[in-house]
Chain A
Amino acid sequence: MTAHRSAFGLAASVRSGAETAAEVLEGYLAAIDAGDGEIHAFNLVTRDEARAAAAAVDRKVASGEDPGLLAGVPVALKDNMCTRGVPTTCSSRILDGWCPPYDATVVIRLREAGAVMVGKTNMDEFAMGSSTENSAFGTTRNPRDTTRVPGGSSGGSAAAVAAGFAPVALGSDTGGSIRQPAALCGVVGMKPTYGTVSRYGLVAFASSLDQIGPFAATVTDAALVFEAIGGHDPADSTSLDRPAPRVLSVLDEGMEGMTVGLLTEFLDGVDPDVVARTRQAAEVCAAAGARVEEISVPEVRLGLSAYYLIAPAEASSNLARYDGVRFGLRVDAEDANAMNTATRSAGFGAEVKRRIMLGTYALSAGYKDAYYDQALRVRTRIIEGFDRAYRRCDVLLGPTAPTTAFSIGAKSNDPMSMYLSDVCTIPSNLAGHPAISIPFGTGDDGLPIGVQLLAPALAENTLLRAAAVIEAAAPVEGGRR
């Protein structure tokens, strides 16, 4: 495993000419070659494209052009973000071999910022899962303990950063799919406010919840990537028409005078070592001059149920496009209807089928009022609950996941127990709010624990300031965070 280098430092080094983007890239490609056979963070390593991109950055540096905020920084991309001419599979057989005819907006922005894409990372199929075991191409192993899952659904991106295969990565977070794997792999993972990062070219799972965000070894690097990819995009009609985020300048402003709410509902049913670390993080905030109080938002208890009606409902509609006609797999049959059914039955894995059926049921005549519509009303209640809390508090604090990384196979036959790993992350998606997971020591089993900060919509500045304070005081064990 290579030593972690900061993306911030790498970009400065490449910009100054102290090292070339090509040299930086070869170091990371060597780390991938040495380690990814065991970890399987990547579905595809894009060596040739990466070498060409690094050479382009080096030409800019040589000619005195600005090579960008992320000059020469290798980045791993979750395999649900479209890359023109490069396979994008969502870890599903139904998209195996598909090469998108366009780039996602985040891909264009990373390239313009000088970043170098090193590959497409493994994930739960169509981002449905919390362990990356639902991939059609095999599971990813947690670099901190290869008998454990990396979390999910962006498990490949989290593992890539944790293993030193890339300094930063992108994931997507629909119910916790960035934050939960970040916590389980011991890295930083951030879900920005809904609408601050374009979803154009992100293969849709649940459109009202999906949001792209960064993985990094540090809060500063996560903020750097957020600045590079954020900001309005006319190609995404849900993108907020606001100036691009500027967060790096506030990171050292501390927490003096902030009020932190320790969210009591998030401490229920959570392992004692995780609760202890969360309380320790609260003490860090207090020591930094914040006022810390316990706060209750009872509405978040309804989040899990509402999410597992809303997200599958949206998925059942979004995934109707996989019909064997325009792209991806086709299984031939005598007529179009039979072809659709044969294609979908062969192309989708079990979890995707479960969610499509759950969503179809929740939207079907006679049940829509009781399930889907009711869940949308609960969503309103959760937003009201958070609004009440944010009248008193600047940020809320809780654990990211109820446990440390679990063993591979431990929950794969029990969907309900798998769904419970997202209980602390889901409410932020339903509310559209930003949240971040910060590595904070380890549990009784020696595996990483993440603490989570939540903030109101568009309060990324406050969120990241507080995150930097917690990060700076995080317990360091065995020389690794």
Chain B
Amino acid sequence: MAGAPRLTRDDVAHVASLARLHLTEEELELFTGQLAEVLDHAADVAQLDLTDVPPTAHAMAVTNVLRPDTPAPSLDREEVLAQAPSVEDHRFRVPRILGEAP
């Protein structure tokens, strides 16, 4: 992006919170410099005028892949749940999600 401001420490802290990552002060410092360097390199892409060029999300595009609607076995429930960190009544157990517990 032409004239984009360089990535700041606050930007990195914000992005980390969006990505559910907690960074130490040292990590924040280190990553800010390293990510800014990568984005500086990407300036060659960001500065091009490509308004008339269509985007490519997939090089070998295939669309509307459907399968016949026939029942087939799913993964074994016990085998799947055996890999979960915490299980209760055949369900994944998680800490509370909303504010105060009832």
Interface string of A303-328 (1 = CB under 8 A from B): 01110110000001000000111111
Query: Do B15 and A326 touch (CB < 8 A)?
Result: no
**B86 to A380, Cβ gap below 8 A?**
no
A360 shortest CB reach to chain B, Å: 5
Instruction: Kindly identify, within residues 24 to 43 of chain B, every residue whose CB is under 8 Å from any CB belonging to chain A.
Output: 27, 31, 34-35, 37-39, 41-43
Residues from chain A with a CB closer than 8 A to the CB of B18 are 360, 364
- On chain B, which size bracket covers the interface? 35 or more
Closest CB in chain A relative to B92 CB, distance in Å: 5
Produce 1/0 per residue, A454-471, CB < 8 A to B. Answer: 000100000000000000
A36–B80 Cα distance when bound, in Å, is 32
Which B residues touch A339, using CB under 8 A? 94-95
Q: Chain B interface: which of A60-68, A212-220, A341-349?
A: A341-349
Return the CB mask of A323-357 against B: 1 if under 8 Å, else 0.
11111111011111111111011001010011011
- Complex CA–CA separation, A18 to B16 (angstroms): 59
| Choice from B27, B55, B65, B84 contacting A325 with Cβ under 8 Å | B84
Nearest residue in B to A84 (C-beta to C-beta)?
B79
Q: Select the residue from B23, B39, B44, B59 with max chain A CB neighbours within 10 A.
A: B59
The B contact surface, by secondary structure, is: loop
Does A139 make an interface contact (CB < 8 A)?
Answer: no
A237-B65, A305-B41, A383-B59 given. 13 additional CB < 8 A pairs? A101-B79, A101-B83, A193-B60, A302-B44, A308-B38, A324-B85, A333-B95, A357-B19, A360-B18, A361-B39, A374-B45, A415-B34, A416-B37
24 contacts between A and B (CB under 8 A): A101-B76, A195-B62, A301-B44, A305-B44, A309-B42, A324-B85, A328-B83, A339-B94, A340-B20, A342-B22, A344-B20, A353-B21, A356-B21, A357-B16, A357-B31, A361-B15, A367-B1, A370-B46, A371-B42, A375-B45, A377-B55, A378-B50, A380-B54, A432-B60
B interface with A by C-beta (< 8 Å):
1, 4, 7, 11-12, 15-16, 18-23, 27, 31, 34-35, 37-39, 41-46, 48, 50, 53-60, 62, 65, 67, 75-76, 79-80, 83-86, 92, 94-97
